[in-house]
Structure 1
Amino acid sequence: MGEVAVLAVSAVLLAGFYAAMAYGLGLIYGVLRIVNLAHGGIIMASAYVTWQLFDRFAVDPFAAIPVVLMLFFVLGMGIYRGLVRFLPRGPAGAVQSLLLLFGVWLVIRNVVYLLFTGNEQVIHTAYATSSVRILGGSFSATRFAVFGVAVIALIALHLLLTRTYLGKAIRAVAQNPDSCTLAGINVERVYLLTFGLGTALAGLAGVLASTLFAINPSFGAGELLKSFVIIVLGGLGSILGIALGALVLAFAEVFAVYAVPPYLTTAVGFVLLVVVLVLRPGGLFGQRVLR
């Protein structure tokens, strides 16, 4: 029973990072109906920015969050202004958006290779070795901090979407952009801000990832795939569903050690994805629009 409780706590902490990792991808898809393949590259780039701030200016990763959010919000708007807004809307632009944003990811990765080589980088903070004991298990204090930031991000995003004019405009555009145009909502501006916000959330995930893992220019590929699994599990376009989907994936991976060898646990999520797509294409929690 004690081992199960320890694994459950570990799964909940992991789910916090997974949810933060998928928020941006889910938000952009929910509004623009674009699968942002540059998402993994943004996470990796943000992790490198965080490492540079720590290495050159001794800025703690968690203290760097406001700077990174602002920087990647502006970057996201730049990507939208310079590239994404020229794509055709609807099914006609789906393949083009995949190719375009995959190209952005390749550019980001190769720029990082040129600037920092392919060596792995690690952020060593003063609290990196600190631990917290719960239910007989010892957990990294950093993982609790990451979980706390992820919960704050979920609450802030939920309040933004439900309590502000911008949030209501985003939800309206996600449901019917044509009607929003008739109602006087600047749909193009909503798309711009949404892409910027989604990119900023990917930047947040990069900050959190840099405190947990060693990073290199190839980092982000696995995070993109898992983010996609999470938004499919939770229901495409559902922010709260993303949190639940992250919880399902984390529990599946952590408790898979009872059934499969440790090196196969990362494949559990993809098996779960196939099963959900076959049995419940709308996701485990239904297909909702930014609730």
Structure 2
Amino acid sequence: MREVFTLAVSAVLLAGFYAAMAYGLGLIYGVLRIVNLAHGGIIMAAAYLTWQLFERFGVDPYIAIPVALVVFFALGAGIYLGLVRFLPRGPAGAVQSLLLLFGVWLIIRNVAYLLFTGNEQAIHTSYATRSVTVFGSSFSVTRILVFAIAVVALLLLHLLLTRTYLGKAIRAVAQNPDSCTLAGIDVERVRIFTFGLGTALAGLAGVLASTLFAFNPSFGAAELLKSFVIIVLGGLGSIVGIALGACVLAFAEVFSIYVVPPYLTSAVGFVLLVVVLVLRPGGLFGQRVLR
């Protein structure tokens, strides 16, 4: 019984990180109908930024979160203004966006190789090895902090989308950008903000990832794939669905150790993705409209 409890809590904590990892990808797709293949590169770049701030200036990774949010919001807005806004709308633009943003990812990765080489890096804080014991089971303080930050990010994002004029404009653009133009909403400005915010959320995921894992310039590929699995599970464009999809993926991976060898647990999510795409293409919890 204790083992099941330990695995369940571990899955919940892992789901928090998975959700934080997928927020940005889901937000950008929900509004712009673009799969941001540079998402993994942004996560990696944010991990390196956090590491540099920690090593050079002694800035705690969690204190570095506001810096990462500002830096990657500006980077995302710049990518949109300099590249994405020139893409044609519709299916042709969707295909071109995949190629374009994959190219951006390759540039980010190779710049990281030039600056930092291919050696793995890790952030070792004073509390990295500390744990909290609950009913005889120990849980990492770092994973608890990551989960708490992910929950706060979800609540703030939900409040932004449901309680502010800007959030309502984002949801309106996601549903019908042509009608928004007639209603006086600056659609282009909303798209710039959305791409910047989605990139900033990817930066947040990179900060959190740097406290959990070692990383190198190839880091982010698995995170991109899992983020895509999560937004499909939760319903493309559903922010709350992303959190639920992250829970499904985390529980499936953690409890799959009873069925498959540990080295195959990472494949569980992709099997789940195929099953959902076949049986419920709209996702388990949402529809293709940002909510």
**Does structure 2 conserve the Cα–Cα contact (< 8 Å) formed by 1:131 and 1:140?**
yes
Q: How far has the Cα of 1:240 moved from its partner? A: 0.1
- Aligned-partner SS, 1:132: strand
Cα shift at 1:136: 2.0
Q: CA offset at residue 288 of structure 1?
A: 4.5
Please name the residue that 2:236 is paired with.
Answer: 236
The letter for the 1-side match of 2:83 is: L
Deviation, structure 1 residue 138 = 1.0
Amino acid in structure 2 at the alignment position of 1:135: F
**Matches of 2:68 and 2:251, distance apart in 1:** 30
Structure 2 residue 171 is the aligned partner of structure 1 residue 166: no
Q: Which amino acid aligns with 1:52?
A: Q
Normalized against structure 1, the TM-score is what? 0.99
- Asked whether the equivalents of residues 44 and 206 of structure 1 are also in contact (C-alpha less than 8 Å), the reply is yes
Q: Secondary structure at the match of 1:212?
A: coil
Q: Distance in 1 between matches of 2:287 and 2:276?
A: 12
- Describe how 1:45-60 pairs up with structure 2 within 5 A: 45-60=45-60
Please give the alpha-carbon distance, in whole angstroms, between the structure 2 residues aligned to 1:245 and 1:230.
5
* Alignment gaps of 5+ in structure 2: none
What's 2:71 paired with? 71
Number of aligned residues: 291
Distance in 2, matches of 1:152 and 1:94, equals 32
Q: CA deviation at 1:51?
A: 0.3
Give the structure 2 partner of residue 221 of structure 1: 221
**TM superposition shift of 1:137:** 1.4
Matched, 1:177 2:177: yes
Moved more, 248-257 or 132-141: 132-141
Q: Residue in 1 aligned with 2:43? A: 43
User: 2:187 and 2:106 mapped to 1: Cα distance?
Assistant: 29
CA contact (8 A) 1:6 1:135 kept: no
1:65-214 to 2 correspondences below 5 Å: 65-214=65-214
Q: Matches of 1:288 and 1:97 in 2, distance apart?
A: 19
Which secondary structure state, in structure 1, belongs to the residue aligned with residue 211 of structure 2? helix
The offset of 1:134, in angstroms, is 1.6
What amino acid sits opposite 2:111 in the alignment?
V
- Give distance in 1, aligned partners of 2:96 and 2:286: 28
The residue number in structure 2 matching 1:12 is 12
Q: Distance in 1 between matches of 2:172 and 2:95?
A: 25
Equivalent position of 1:251 in the other structure? 251
After superposition, the CA RMSD in angstroms is: 0.6
Matched residue, 1:62: 62
1:135 CA displacement? 2.8
Shift of 1:286: 2.9
Question: Is contact 1:18-1:246 (8 Å) kept?
Answer: yes
TM-score w.r.t. structure 2 length? 0.99
CA contact under 8 A between 1:160 and 1:166: conserved in structure 2?
yes
- Residue 145 of structure 1 deviates from its aligned partner by 0.3
Q: Give the deviation of 1:110 after TM superposition.
A: 0.2
CA distance in 2, matches of 1:150, 1:135: 24
Q: Which runs of 5+ in 1 are unaligned?
A: none
Runs of 4+ residues deviating >2 angstroms: none
The 3-state SS of whatever aligns with 1:107 is helix
Task: Give the secondary-structure state (helix, strand or coil) at the position aligned to 2:133.
Answer: strand
